[in-house]
Amino acid sequence: MKQTDKLFELAKVDAVLVVSEKNRMYFTGFASTFGYLVLLHDKNVFITDPRYYEMAQSLVEQGVEVLQISNGAGATDVLRQVLAKNGVKTVGYEDNELTVSEFNALKRELSDFKMTGVGKDICYVRSFKTDEEISFIKKAQSITDKAFSEILNYIKVGVSERDIAVELEYQMAKNGAEGLAFDTIIASGVNSSKPHAHPTDKLIELGDPVTMDFGARYHGYCSDMTRTVFVGTPSEELRKIYNIVKLAQTIGINNAYCGMGGREFDSFCREVIMSNGYEQYFVHSTGHSLGIDIHETPTASARSADILTARQFITCEPGIYIPGVGGVRIEDLLLIEEDGITDLTTSDKSIIML
Ligand SMILES: [Mn+2]
């Protein structure tokens, strides 16, 4: 089971109850819509129902005890028995995943135990990727880069933002994506000043910037990249903005190092934009990590207290957005390792005019 020793170092509890689908998937590698995973100091127990019991036998090989809920019995009855049998007094739960009503129900059912939120600790543990997770994210990013090179042949005057989104998603699927990392963002012309614009029926016009922010999912893991390209020749102002964003991003990546602060990394990019007088138009943070979720810790922002270290990911995505004019964002995905930073995004960043 992944990283549970690390989790128990942080979370001073006797057991951790994993209920959310993604954290069950994270710890077991086994996809299921229902189950209670109980992490204990010396063993792990997976409680599931007959739909998954047979499939869950694969976990037995990993040393996980698999229990089936018999017809008519409640899952929490079995859960209570497991906790009591193992002398558990304090139970860590996912305070960042459960709804209020799920938590209230659980608290009622487990009133004999002390409940402690450990969501932050799970996020921290998840931020350090294993070799396998790194390989999945690398593959997801390579699919995303391939789709970008294909979409350049497709974008032209007269196609709509929605057309581009659909084609991009098709290209990711065709190159091996099992799904999307998040809803594709396509923003053209003046729409591009809205950092997270949804694709519309707007048609591409000559001179438009087209910002594409998209990612693939591979074995459950996300990738994320953004490029702004131009159809025809951009205005002087947009070209200027493009060059500043590109410079900010290049300086950010070149200065990045293992052990830097999230705030420090943000400042590498922000200072370039600031010194060119556009700081008021850089309206979001520089980067975030990803994994099973598209936004994970650590983060790189002016308020981040995170330290970015080995086996963690961070995006580098400065942007400038001017309402009524347009916007530019360039985003790469970086892997931080002890011996340096690897930029996993291979797509061109020199200004592209289609
Ligand atoms: Mn991103």
Give the model's confidence band at 1: pLDDT under 50 very low, under 70 low, under 90 confident, else very high.
low
Q: Residue 234 C-alpha to ligand 1 middle, in angstroms?
A: 24
Q: Residue 111 C-alpha to ligand 1 middle, in angstroms?
A: 41
Q: Residue 325 C-alpha to ligand 1 middle, in angstroms?
A: 22
What confidence tens digit (pLDDT) does each residue in 272-310 have?
A: 999 999 999 999 999 999 999 999 999 999 999 999 999
Q: Residue 175 C-alpha to ligand 1 middle, in angstroms?
A: 21
Q: Residue 132 C-alpha to ligand 1 middle, in angstroms?
A: 22
User: What pLDDT is attached to residue 34?
Assistant: 86
**Mean pLDDT value across residues 197-221:** 97
**Mean pLDDT value across residues 229-257:** 98
Q: Residue 180 C-alpha to ligand 1 middle, in angstroms?
A: 13
- State yes or no: pLDDT of 233 exceeds 90: yes
Q: Which one-letter DSSP state was computed for residue 86?
A: T
- State yes or no: pLDDT of 10 exceeds 70: yes
Q: Residue 276 C-alpha to ligand 1 middle, in angstroms?
A: 23
- State yes or no: pLDDT of 62 exceeds 90: no
What confidence tens digit (pLDDT) does each residue in 91-107 have?
A: 999 999 999 999 999 99
**Mean pLDDT value across residues 74-96:** 95
Lowest-confidence range among 56-60, 153-157, 313-317?
56-60
Q: Residue 28 C-alpha to ligand 1 middle, in angstroms?
A: 27
- State yes or no: pLDDT of 244 exceeds 80: yes
Q: Residue 182 C-alpha to ligand 1 middle, in angstroms?
A: 10
What confidence tens digit (pLDDT) does each residue in 344-354 have?
A: 999 999 999 99
Q: Residue 199 C-alpha to ligand 1 middle, in angstroms?
A: 17
- Residues 216, 174 contacting (CB under 8 angstroms): no
Q: Residue 323 C-alpha to ligand 1 middle, in angstroms?
A: 21
The span from the CA of 1 to the CA of 45, in Å, is 11
Q: Residue 203 C-alpha to ligand 1 middle, in angstroms?
A: 25
Give the model's confidence band at 70: pLDDT under 50 very low, under 70 low, under 90 confident, else very high.
confident
Structure tokens at 288: 């975030």
- State yes or no: pLDDT of 65 exceeds 90: yes
The domain 131-343 belongs to what CATH superfamily?
Answer: Creatinase/methionine aminopeptidase superfamily (3.90.230.10)
Structure tokens at 240: 């200027």
Q: Residue 262 C-alpha to ligand 1 middle, in angstroms?
A: 15
Domains 4-127 and 131-343 belong to one CATH topology: no
Name the average pLDDT for the chain: 95
Phi-psi region of 230 (alpha: psi -120 to 50; beta: other; left: phi over 0): beta
pTM of the model: 0.94
- Residues 228, 327 contacting (CB under 8 angstroms): yes
Type of residue numbered 280: Q
**Mean pLDDT value across residues 39-60:** 89
Task: Tell me the percentage of the chain whose pLDDT exceeds 90.
Answer: 89
**Mean pLDDT value across residues 216-242:** 97
Cis peptide preceding 298, ω within 30 of 0 = yes
- Residues 31, 22 contacting (CB under 8 angstroms): no
Domain-wise residue ranges, the chain = 4-127, 131-343
- State yes or no: pLDDT of 71 exceeds 80: no
Task: Tell me the percentage of the chain whose pLDDT exceeds 70.
Answer: 99
The domain over range 4-127 is classified in CATH as 2.30.130.10: no
Strand, helix or coil at 57? helix
